[in-house]
Amino acid sequence: MGEASGRPRRQEQETASSEVTEVAPGVLRSQLPISLPGLGHVNCYLLADDRGVAVVDPGLPGPQSWRALVDRLKQAGYKPKHVHTVIVTHSHPDHFGGAGRLRDVHGAEVVSHRSFRTWFDPAEDDNAVDADGEPLPAPSRPWGGELPWRDGATLRPPLDRRLKYRLGRTLLRRFMRTPRPTRRLDDAEVIELAGREWVAVHTPGHTIDHLCLYDPVEGVVLSGDHVLPTITPHISGLVGDHDPLAEFFASLEKVAALDGVRRVLPAHGHPFEDLAGRAAAIREHHEERLQTLRDAAAELGTATVEELSQRLFRPRSWGPMAESETYAHLEHLRINGEADVRKEAGALRYRLT
pLDDT in tens, 46-101: 999 999 999 999 999 989 999 999 999 999 999 999 999 999 999 999 999 999 99
DSSP 204-272: -SSSTT-EEEEETTTTEEEEETTS-SSSB----S-STT--HHHHHHHHHHHHHT-TT--EEEESSS--B
Domain boundaries, the chain: 11-139+176-280, 288-352
Q: Over range 331-346, report the average pLDDT.
A: 96
The pLDDT score that the predictor gives to residue 266 is 98
3-state secondary structure of 87: strand
Query: Which of the residue ranges 12-26, 132-146, 209-223, 290-304 would you say has the lowest mean pLDDT?
Result: 132-146
The pLDDT score that the predictor gives to residue 239 is 78
Backbone angles phi, psi at 117, to 5 degrees: -160, 135
The pLDDT score that the predictor gives to residue 4 is 41
The pLDDT score that the predictor gives to residue 177 is 75
Q: Over range 260-281, report the average pLDDT.
A: 98
- pLDDT of 166 over the 60 cut: no
Selected residue with higher pLDDT from 289 and 353: 289
Burial class (CB in 10 A: 0-12, 13-18, 19+), 174: exposed
DSSP 176-200: PPP---SEEEPTT-EEEETTEEEEE
- pLDDT of 161 over the 60 cut: no
pLDDT band at 296 (very low <50, low <70, confident <90, very high): very high
Q: Which CATH architecture has domain 11-139+176-280?
A: 4-Layer Sandwich (3.60)
Fold entry, domain 288-352: Arc Repressor Mutant, subunit A (1.10.10)
Q: Over range 123-131, report the average pLDDT.
A: 52
Backbone angles phi, psi at 190, to 5 degrees: -105, 140
pLDDT band at 145 (very low <50, low <70, confident <90, very high): low
259/265 Cα distance (integer angstroms): 16
Q: Of all residues in the chain, what percent carry a pLDDT higher than 70?
A: 84
Instruction: Give the containing element (helix H, strand E) for 84.
Output: strand 83-87
The pLDDT score that the predictor gives to residue 5 is 42
CB-based contact 34:60 (threshold 8 Å): yes
The pLDDT score that the predictor gives to residue 186 is 97
- pLDDT of 314 over the 90 cut: yes
- pLDDT of 6 over the 80 cut: no
- pLDDT of 327 over the 60 cut: yes
- pLDDT of 142 over the 60 cut: no
- pTM of the complete model: 0.90
Query: Which of the residue ranges 23-27, 113-117, 185-189 would you say has the lowest mean pLDDT?
Result: 113-117
CB-based contact 50:194 (threshold 8 Å): no
Q: What is the pLDDT of residues 234-256, one digit of tens each?
A: 999 887 678 999 999 999 999 99
The pLDDT score that the predictor gives to residue 146 is 75
Which of 222, 211, 219, 220 lies closest to 186 in space, CA to CA? 211
- How far is C-alpha 308 from the geometric centre of its chain's CA atoms? 25
